[in-house]
Every structure is written in structure tokens, then in C-alpha cells.
């Protein structure tokens, strides 16, 4: 009789361990971990209408400026210009923008490289038409190595045509473009400097540094969509960049919130959760500062929010459960646990029978 009792206790203990303790533990440990997130905050926000926005350089907190000197015929002409010189003279302009973004200036020389398009001969010089210009950039880019750094690159290229073929740019209306330079809004700018006759004879050419630096500064101004260099223009740029960063942050956070609601297997670790909270906080603070007209603080908080939201969104740990989709979880665990559960549940009928007979016995005794 006692043995029967022990048997019943043993079945019950199996049941308790497997179902009452084991099942919740299994559920808890195989769920997708998500740190606490301010989901409501992530959804709110005012978004600007992006349909009419003209495209520009990618938004980033740091840029590389790559100055390239392209010299197709080094044997017949020596060009005396130094990248350091250009860098030093660009620094005043870059310092003006330093509160918005950081810049790292690099320079390189490309020898024996041509532009890859065929100019047309007009009288004593050669002309590049406006419609030929877009086809210069791609072949040149393959040689520029601008894609080696982790930051977006702004390319500023100076091309020195050969002495025998002075090159000028002509626009659609067949007028010569005085500046002899052009830019591509997402890539950078190109400036063509023709060596003058006396330098060609002397075989040494010293280009006008002021002209080169001024052209670069103007090209950078256009790339950043600034209409001038005054205090007001800089303030305008700061406001624009702060708003762009805020906009991007809000969109990223909203996208992330939507993703989380649609896909079950994305993991949000604690670090990512923290980054998101910081991003949300700073975005709110930036908004208040900008509303009150405090541009510098607004920009500062917007930068923090932007960098944190980007890091959180593209964190590789989000795909940690890539090979463990939710629907296959059951397919993995059922073959393990079902065979164990079967005898346990079958034994429960035994318990029921014992319980019934026990009650009957007790009634009889009473």
C-alpha cells in the first residue's frame, strides 16, 4: 500500500518538475530577448515631406575630403603644387563648418590618367561639352580609391591637361564656362587647370593656389548647399543639418519600432536598448532647443541622437537569431520533450484512479 503512495508521489513530482517548473523555464529562456524600449516615443514625431527634396551628399558626422591631382603627362611637365599647402588653406573654411561636421583631408597624385572623353577641337583649344561631363566621373572614380575609408568621401579633383591640348568647358548654350569647373551633388567636384604657355616652355608649372583653393571652397559650399560664408549662412546650415539629423533619427526609430512589431525574431540587447533610449532623449532635447532658437545646443543633441540611432539600427546583434526562426523553435523542441511527456501524462490517469480509490476508502472508513 505504501508503495502505491510512493509511486503516486513520484508521478506527481515528475509532473511538477516537468510541467510546472520546466515549461515556464523553457519558454523564458527561448524567447527572443528584447530590452525595454520606449516604443511610444519611437513612433511619434513630425516628418518633413521628402518627395521634393533634392539629393545631396549623404548625411554623416564626419567626411573625408580627397584632393586628387590628375596629371596625364608627367614626362613633359613638372607641376609644383603641394597637397599640404591646399590643406592648410582649406582649414579656415573647414573650421567654420567644424561644429557641424569633422573633416579629414587627404591628397593624392594620379599620373598617366586621362579623362576618358574626347573633347572637340575649336580653333586653338579643345572644348568639353556639358553633356560629356557626366561620363568623366565613373571612369575616374575607379582610380580614386575613395571607397577605402569608413566615412563618406567628398572628392575634389584638379586635372592638368597636356600643354598641347588646353581644355575648356562649354555649357549648353555654347558659352565657355569661366570657372572651368563643375560638380556632382553627391560626389564632389572637378576643376580643370590649363598650364600657360610660358610654363610649358620652361617645363615647370606652378598653378595659382588661390584659384584652386577658392574653387574648392566654392564647390564645397555648393555641396553643402550654403549660399555664402557669412554668420547667417553658417547658422542656416546648422539649423538645416540639425533638422536633417533629427528627421533621420525619428525615421530610423520609427522604422525600427515597425520592424519589431512585424518580425518576431529580432533581438534587442541591452546595449542597443540603451542607445535607443539615449537617441530618443537627445532627440527630444534637440527639438526643444531648436524651438527656442538655441542652435548650438540643438545641433549638439541632434548629433548625439543621430549617431546613436544609426548605431542602434545597424547593430549586427539584431540578427542574432537569424538561424533560429520562431516557427522552427517548436520543430526543434517537440521531438525532445514529447516522448518524455507521454509517460508522465499517462501516469496522471493512475493518479486519478488512486485519488478516487483513496477517497472511497476514506469515505468507507468514515
Interface pick for other proteins out of 93, 103, 126, 289 (rule CB under 8 A): 93
Cβ distance to other proteins smaller for residue 182 or 289: 182
With respect to other proteins, which residue has the nearer C-beta, 8 or 127? 127
Taking CB under 8 A as the rule, does residue 162 contact other proteins? Answer: no
Cβ atoms of 72 and 199 within 8 Å: the answer is no
What is the residue whose three cell numbers read 565657355?
176
Distance CA 31, CA 264 (A): 10
Q: Which residue, 177, 295, 310, is CA-closest to 233? A: 295
Biggest CA–CA distance in the chain, Å, is 129
Does 325 bind other proteins (CB under 8 A)? Our answer is yes
Whole-angstrom CA distances from 238 to 45, 100, 234, 254 are 20, 6, 6, 24
Does 116 contact other proteins by CB under 8 A? no
Number of residues engaging other proteins in binding (CB under 8 A): 68
Which residue lies nearer to other proteins by CB, 73 or 311?
311
What is the footprint of other proteins within residues 225-244 (CB under 8 A)?
A: 227-229
Q: Provide, rounded to whole angstroms, the least separation between the CB of residue 185 and other proteins.
A: 6
Q: Does 2 bind other proteins (CB under 8 A)?
A: no
Burial class of residue 366 in the structure, from the number of CB atoms within 10 Å of its CB (0-12 exposed, 13-18 middle, 19+ buried): exposed
Cα 192 to Cα 356: distance, rounded to the nearest angstrom: 100
Residues that bind other proteins (CB under 8 A): 50, 54-55, 58, 84-85, 88-89, 92-93, 130, 133-135, 137-138, 141-142, 146-150, 169, 171, 177-179, 181-187, 189, 209-211, 213-215, 217-219, 222, 227-229, 248, 251-252, 254-256, 258-259, 262-263, 313-316, 318-319, 322-323, 325
Amino acid at each position: 500500500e505504501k508503495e502505491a503512495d510512493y509511486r503516486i508521489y513520484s508521478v506527481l513530482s515528475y509532473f511538477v518538475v516537468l510541467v510546472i517548473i520546466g515549461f515556464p523555464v523553457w519558454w523564458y529562456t527561448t524567447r527572443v530577448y528584447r530590452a525595454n524600449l520606449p516604443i511610444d516615443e519611437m513612433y511619434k514625431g513630425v516628418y518633413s515631406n521628402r518627395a521634393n527634396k533634392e539629393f545631396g551628399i549623404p548625411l554623416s558626422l564626419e567626411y573625408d575630403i580627397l584632393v586628387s591631382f590628375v596629371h596625364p603627362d608627367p614626362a613633359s611637365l613638372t607641376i609644383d603644387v603641394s597637397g599640404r599647402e591646399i590643406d592648410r588653406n582649406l582649414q579656415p573654411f573647414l573650421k567654420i563648418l567644424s561644429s557641424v561636421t569633422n573633416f579629414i583631408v587627404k591628397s593624392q597624385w594620379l599620373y598617366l590618367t586621362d579623362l576618358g572623353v574626347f573633347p572637340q577641337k575649336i580653333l586653338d583649344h579643345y572644348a568639353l561639352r556639358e553633356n560629356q561631363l557626366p561620363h568623366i566621373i565613373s571612369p575616374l572614380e575607379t582610380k580614386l580609391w575613395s571607397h577605402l575609408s569608413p566615412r563618406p568621401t567628398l572628392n575634389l579633383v584638379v586635372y592638368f591637361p597636356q600643354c598641347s591640348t588646353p581644355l575648356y568647358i562649354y555649357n549648353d548654350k555654347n558659352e565657355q564656362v569661366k570657372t572651368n569647373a563643375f560638380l556632382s551633388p553627391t560626389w564632389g567636384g572637378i576643376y580643370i587647370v590649363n598650364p600657360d604657355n610660358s610654363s610649358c616652355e620652361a617645363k615647370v608649372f606652378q598653378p595659382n593656389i588661390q584659384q584652386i583653393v577658392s574653387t574648392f571652397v566654392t564647390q564645397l559650399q555648393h555641396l553643402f548647399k550654403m549660399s555664402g560664408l557669412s554668420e547667417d549662412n553658417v547658422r542656416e546650415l546648422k539649423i538645416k543639418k540639425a533638422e536633417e539629423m533629427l528627421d533621420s533619427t525619428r525615421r530610423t526609430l520609427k522604422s525600427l519600432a515597425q520592424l519589431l512589431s512585424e518580425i518576431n525574431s529580432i533581438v534587442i540587447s541591452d546595449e542597443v536598448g540603451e542607445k535607443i533610449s539615449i537617441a530618443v532623449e537627445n532627440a527630444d532635447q534637440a527639438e526643444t532647443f531648436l524651438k527656442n532658437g538655441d542652435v548650438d545646443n540643438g545641433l549638439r543633441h541632434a548629433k548625439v541622437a543621430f549617431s546613436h540611432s544609426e548605431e542602434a539600427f545597424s547593430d549586427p546583434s539584431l540578427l542574432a537569431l537569424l538561424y533560429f526562426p520562431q516557427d522552427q523553435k517548436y520543430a526543434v523542441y517537440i521531438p525532445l520533450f514529447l516522448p518524455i511527456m507521454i509517460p508522465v501524462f499517462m501516469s496522471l490517469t493512475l493518479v486519478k484512479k488512486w485519488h478516487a480509490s483513496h477517497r472511497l476508502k476514506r469515505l468507507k472508513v468514515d
